[in-house]
């Protein structure tokens, strides 16, 4: 026979009070956490990027609602929040410090962008951020260099924006300045190095040869025994532009796009004649 013990209901009440107390305690502890400028992080301390510079960095990267931005080392989430709230992007912040990540999640909720921003507690050297169309950094020069090979393997056209620190000999495509702070923008370049067969131009097919180091390119167009140097060649992500002078000393302008092994674009003669052309990687 089961015997009633007056201790049993008392125990349940006690347990309930304890749970409520510890829950309140946890909530209070979370709310009480306020990060301190300069506090240690795994690979770099926390100092937030000034809002004025964030606005300029995201504007330079032309962030829109079609973008997916990853902030590597998210801190209080300010970059991810701004990208979502003011530029309409989906954004993800990766932050190693779990308390800081919780704090950033709170900031996300307070900013009302919980549907657009995700804060991951994790290590930027372990988490996969390669689905990003925009990557933001405020790290250190050697950390940027460790990330560089991954960034350069990302989809051509991906924008990388860094507060304060550069990327070795990968020169920025653009600089932004806010008061004494500086930001740098790179656009991941398509790969064009090597030989291409160019068709569509008057006079028949030609060989297009590119030499490439990062986004810097040069090259030639060769038809038969005549070779023309590419002038002012520029590669910005997948956008390719150059000029060349034909033997009759006419300057032609090429504007087009690289999509993997295919280049498509237009050649405009000095007289304004526009010819659609294409090239295939050999
Ligand atoms: C200089 S703060 C930049 C914060 C924010 N991105 C901004 O610009 O305002 C760098 C942040 O990276 C975090 N961090 C350091 N090493 C990390 C790592 N390996 N993985 C993820 N986060 C890291 C730090 O805790 C800190 O919050």
| All CATH 2.40.128.120 domain ranges in the chain, comma separated | 194-281
CB atoms within 10 A of CB 159: 25
Q: What is the pLDDT of residue 24?
A: 41
Report the chain's mean pLDDT, rounded to a whole number.
91
Whole-number Å distance, alpha carbon 64 to ligand 1 midpoint, is: 24
Query: pLDDT band at residue 30, thresholds of 50, 70 and 90?
Result: low
Please give the CATH topology (third level) of the domain spanning 194-281. Lipocalin (2.40.128)
Tens digit of each residue's pLDDT (9 = 90 or more) over 178-230:
999 999 999 999 999 999 999 999 889 999 999 999 999 999 999 988 999 99
Using left for φ > 0, alpha for ψ between -120 and 50, and beta otherwise, residue 117 falls in beta
Average confidence (pLDDT) over 40-60: 98
Nearest CA to ligand 1 atom 8: 49
Strand, coil or helix: 155? coil
CB atoms within 10 A of CB 79: 30
Query: What residues contact 81, with CB distance under 8 A and at least 6 apart?
Result: 91, 107, 108, 111, 113, 117
Tens digit of each residue's pLDDT (9 = 90 or more) over 36-47:
999 999 999 999
Pocket test for ligand 1, best of 58, 72, 74, 104 (most atoms within 8 A of CB): 74
CB atoms within 10 A of CB 12: 10
> Cα angle vertex 53, ends 51, 57, to 5°?
115
- Which residue is associated with the tokens 């992007």? 89
Measured torsion, CA atoms of residues 35, 40, 44, 45, in degrees rounded to the nearest 10: 40
Q: Residue 95: pLDDT above 80?
A: yes
Question: Are the C-beta atoms of 244 and 263 separated by less than 8 Å?
Answer: no
Give the integer Cα–Cα distance in Å for 79 and 76: 8
Second CATH level (architecture) for the domain 51-187: 3-Layer(aba) Sandwich (3.40)
Nearest Cα to Cα of residue 176 among 187, 159, 161, 157: 161
Q: Which residues line ligand 1 (CB under 6 A)?
A: 41-44, 46-49, 71, 73-75, 78-79, 94-97, 100, 123-125, 138, 163
- One DSSP character per residue, 220-236 reads EEEETTEEEE-EEEEEE
| All CATH 3.40.50.150 domain ranges in the chain, comma separated | 51-187
Tens digit of each residue's pLDDT (9 = 90 or more) over 64-73:
999 999 999 9
Question: Are the C-beta atoms of 93 and 78 separated by less than 8 Å?
Answer: no
Strand 181-187, strand 194-199: pairing: unpaired
């Amino acid at each position: 026979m089961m015997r009633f013990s007056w201790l049993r209901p008392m125990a349940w009440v006690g347990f309930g009070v304890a749970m409520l107390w510890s829950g309140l305690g946890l909530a209070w502890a979370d709310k009480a956490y306020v990060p301190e400028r300069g506090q240690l992080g795994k690979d770099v301390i926390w100092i937030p990027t000034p809002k004025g510079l964030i606005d300029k960095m995201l504007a330079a990267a032309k962030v829109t609602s079609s973008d997916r931005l990853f902030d590597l080392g998210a801190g209080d989430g300010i970059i991810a929040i701004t990208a979502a709230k003011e530029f309409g992007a989906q954004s993800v912040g990766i932050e190693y410090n779990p308390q800081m990540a919780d704090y950033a999640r709170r900031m996300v909720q307070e900013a009302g962008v919980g549907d657009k921003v995700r804060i991951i507690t994790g290590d930027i050297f372990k988490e996969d951020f390669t689905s990003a169309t925009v990557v933001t950094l405020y790290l250190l020069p050697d950390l940027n260099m460790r990330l560089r090979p991954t960034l350069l393997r990302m989809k051509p056209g991906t924008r990388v924006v860094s507060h304060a620190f550069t990327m070795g000999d990968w020169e920025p495509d653009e600089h932004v300045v806010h008061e004494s702070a500086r930001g740098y923008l790179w656009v991941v370049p398509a790969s064009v190095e090597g030989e291409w067969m160019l068709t569509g131009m008057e006079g028949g097919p030609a060989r297009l040869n590119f030499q490439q180091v990062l986004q810097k390119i040069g090259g030639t167009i060769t038809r038969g025994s005549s070779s023309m140097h590419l002038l002012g060649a520029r590669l910005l992500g997948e956008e390719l532009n150059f000029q060349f002078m034909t033997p009759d000393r006419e300057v032609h302008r090429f504007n087009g796009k690289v999509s993997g092994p295919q280049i498509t674009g237009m050649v405009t003669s000095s007289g304004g004649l526009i010819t659609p052309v294409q090239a295939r990687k050999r």
